[in-house]
Structure 1
Amino acid sequence: MLPKKVSRVIASHDGVITRSRALELGMSRHQIDGRLDTGEWRRLHAGVYLPADRPVTAAANLRAAVLAAGPGAVARGPSAAWWHGILDSPPAIPWVVIPRDRRACIRNALVLRRDIPAADRTRSRGVAVVSRELAILETAITLPRGTAFLDRALQRHTLLPSLMQAHERNLPRRGGARSARMLAIAATGGASEAERMLVRVLRGSGITGWRLHVRAHGFEIDLAFERERVAIEVDGWAWHRDAERFARDLQRQNTLVNAGWHVLRFDWHRLAHDVAGVLGEIRAALARGRTPGLG
């Protein structure tokens, strides 16, 4: 029979318990070793255990990796973003950072040596993790569509000044330059850059017959193919668009549609990461506008 205190720790920590914690709570070395010998407990890492009847979940894996990495270790990057509830799924293996003056070899974990400022260290559900802001910055540079992830994070989880402060506190670091570029785009909202990206895409593809900033029906269209009556509206990052601007954009789009225009909308992220898809939609709209009876 396990001591009640040990059972409570196991129940509240995804099944994970360390040897040192079990000893603190009244178990003897003989009792711990006996459970390991009989297979009642399994060893996840040196000195970190899980009852055999408990599943090895992503949460248990991360908790165990941080504990096994020793003093000063914290979850980082996508692991921390997932633990904070910002990323929907955990990475395949835990991401952990340890102080620069320490070494740790953890099986099936991605371990980095770097000193994390106190302001960017916290605890969540009993696990040491980097701050929400640093987790967002570290994760954004690892994802194929990292800018879209950063945009969503700004809408739901943090503020731009907080991200910028975390960025400055953690320089220099691997990926710092890329984070700086993302933050610079986020600060401007990305709308002007998105328009320039669209122009580059059209020129590079050889598509002609368009004009910028066309006035029609009391509104200005970002880019228009007037003969085919195709209007393209360009959006920056979603977090930068307030309710008033959103309502105005909807009114403009509805007015143009009612006047017979085919309206396409592309945001910064589509233009940056899905050029082929953008061109395909534009070409389809232009073909529709040139086909009698479909315009």
Structure 2
Amino acid sequence: MGDQAALPKMLADHDGVFTTIQAYRCGVTGDQLRHRVRSGEWIRVARGVFRAADRTLDIRMRMRLAVLQAGPGAALAGAAAAWWHALVTTEPTTVTVIAPHGRHGSRIPGCAVWHRTLDPVDVTSKDSLPVTAIPLTVLDAAVDIGVRVMDSALLRARVELDDLLAAQKRNSGRRGSPRARAMVAAMSEGARSEAERKAVALLRGSDVTGWVTNLPVGGYILDLALPEHKIDIEIDGFVYHSDAEAFQHDRERQNDLIANGWTVLRFTWHDLTTRPQWVLAQIRAAIRQAAAA
């Protein structure tokens, strides 16, 4: 039944997920395909989409099935694509697929389908599956799971900043575009200074008073501080903009300040953009502790 060499290889290469056309290319006839389905050897998941019954339905199979069910021109995207590209290690809770405009079909369980037509340069094939190329994957995943995926991809040289800028420009109208554009802008302009500006804006809009910027203390310049309570607020930029020398200097300064009675609070870009009220709560708690001392 079918090509005894081509069929097992196709199944192995595609995690046991395949289409009618792929089965036919391996020499399987229509009658043979129907027989395998009736016998329970293969499971029909959707029209023209099948999976081998002897394989546990894992995340790779789910991703392949979602892309195939979304139809021609579809590609794995977002956090799912980041996992497929090994940019992240955490499996996504939802499989995201981009399908061309005009796709009509039933809902795919556990899958979110975004509708837009991708530029060919933004699609690649990895392990025989259409996936958004790394630059667009990084942009979309950063919106879904946080800026650290962008930072990590840049740090590990999986993508260049110019590639992110180009992908953002090509896909400027997509879901999450404004947030991704802000992240790329922060990378381009210098993440630490951008993060510090966000921290200042957050404090200005809060009930926290007595803070100052650029305070000289013991040979250092504190970007943000509450001198009355001897609280130093350190804002860490993206890892991408850090280096060993800067890291060492920051830690030496922190140790010196603590030795001289200062409380040092450290916050990241992720903290400021995803949980600003938590940042303010930490600052208020430090003020209360200092006042009670």
Q: Verify same fold: TM over 0.5.
A: yes
TM-score normalised by L of structure 2: 0.87
Q: How does 1:114-133 map to 2 (within 5 A)?
A: 114-133=116-135
Moved more, 278-287 or 53-62: 278-287
**Gap change, CA 1:57 and 1:240, over 3 Å in 2:** same
Q: 1:122-152: CA deviations, max 9, x gaps?
A: 1111111110111111222334xx3344333
Q: How does 1:128-143 map to 2 (within 5 A)?
A: 128-143=130-145
Q: Distance in 2 between the 1:172 and 1:116 partners?
A: 12
**Gap change, CA 1:93 and 1:261, over 3 Å in 2:** closer
CA contact (8 A) 2:69 2:108 kept: no
Aligned to 1:78: 79
Aligned to 1:281: 282
CA contact (8 A) 2:71 2:103 kept: no
Q: C-alpha displacement at 1:10, in angstroms?
A: 1.3
Question: What SS is found at the alignment partner of 1:142?
Answer: helix
Matched letter for residue 22 of structure 2: R
Q: 1:217-252: CA deviations, max 9, x gaps?
A: 211112222233222222222212233222221221
Question: What SS is found at the alignment partner of 1:141?
Answer: helix
Q: Distance in 2 between the 1:200 and 1:39 partners?
A: 62
Moved more, 50-59 or 108-117: 108-117
Moved more, 281-290 or 132-141: 281-290
Q: C-alpha displacement at 1:118, in angstroms?
A: 2.1
1:188 to 2:189 alignment: yes
1:175 to 2:176 alignment: yes
TM-score normalised by L of structure 1: 0.87
1:147 to 2:170 alignment: no
CA contact (8 A) 1:69 1:105 kept: no
Aligned to 2:95: 94
Gaps of 5+ in 1: none
Q: 1:167-210: CA deviations, max 9, x gaps?
A: 12234433333322222222222323333333343344322233
Matched letter for residue 170 of structure 1: N
Matched letter for residue 127 of structure 1: L
Q: 1:7-66: CA deviations, max 9, x gaps?
A: 222122211122222222122222211111121211122122112221111211211232
Q: Distance in 2 between the 1:112 and 1:271 partners?
A: 28
Q: C-alpha displacement at 1:105, in angstroms?
A: 4.8
Aligned to 2:252: 251
**Gap change, CA 1:174 and 1:275, over 3 Å in 2:** closer
Question: Percent of aligned positions with the same letter in both sequences?
Answer: 38
CA RMSD of aligned residues (A): 2.4
Q: Distance in 1 between the 2:273 and 2:76 partners?
A: 30
